[in-house]
Amino acid sequence: MGRLKPSLYLVLPVTDQYTGGLDPQPICSQSFMQSVAPTKSRAWYKEPYVWMLIGFPTSSIIVCSILLTFAINTKDTLVRGNYYKDGMAMNEELKWDNKARHMDIRVAFTVKDNIATLDILNSRLDMPTTLLLKFSHPTLQGKDRDSLLQLKHGSKAYQGFIDSVQDGKYYIQVESAEQSWRIRGEVYVINGETHSL
């Protein structure tokens, strides 16, 4: 028997042990072989999950940095600078509050459009010529309003111009520099309605 040429291969059919016939198909299918074949790995920066894990902490750091910068550089309008002088002035103003209480002073005011009107309902003192009416917003300094009210002749009513006051909660202060008294209160102001202190 002569030698086989190197380029020729002898293929024997595989016997199917269940049917007894010949099965020319290989034992493992081609699709199974492809599924178990090793896959080519990608670089880490091409994986979307890596960027998702990096993105959340990075965005949190950026947002926190912006908020911290904003908090440091923005002046808090509710905090005053000179506490000692404010404390001394507060003690003096408390005397004004006590005087208004002892003189049984009560007032009612109305704000309609740009006109502030105030009536003194009760007082043991003579009518001062002017009164200062202050509206202090609880949180926004830009909404604070002041009005210098003049006494109408022959009455207990005062009237003056005021910038537009939006409806809402305000700390109201009525004071007389002439007689050194002050009334304070917290009122939900509505345009056109009368409020008492």
Domain extents in the chain: 83-196
Res 44: pLDDT: 83
Task: Using alpha carbons, select from 87, 163, 156 the residue that is nearest to residue 119.
Answer: 156
Between CA 103 and CA 19 the distance in angstroms is: 120
Q: What is the pLDDT of residues 164-194, one digit of tens each?
A: 888 999 999 999 888 889 999 999 998 889 8
Q: What is the pLDDT of residues 7-25, one digit of tens each?
A: 544 445 555 454 555 555 5
The number of CA neighbours under 13 Å toward the Cβ of 108 is 9
Name the CATH topology of 83-196: Immunoglobulin-like (2.60.40)
Q: What pLDDT sits at residue 1?
A: 47
Instruction: Name the DSSP letter for residue 162.
Output: -
Q: Does the pLDDT at position 36 exceed 90? A: no
Q: What is the per-residue pLDDT for 59?
A: 94
Cβ atoms within 10 A of the Cβ of 158, count? 25
Express each pLDDT in 50-105 by its tens digit: 888 999 999 999 999 999 998 888 876 655 556 667 677 777 778 888 888 898 99
Q: What is the mean pLDDT of the segment spanning 127-145? A: 89
| Tokens at 148, concatenated | 């210098």
Is the model's pLDDT at 161 over the cut of 90?
A: yes
Write down the pTM of the prediction: 0.55
pLDDT of the residue at 96: 87
- Going by pLDDT thresholds of 50, 70 and 90, the confidence category of residue 113 is confident
**CA distance to 26, 29, 36, 188, per residue, from 32 (Å):** 12, 5, 6, 78
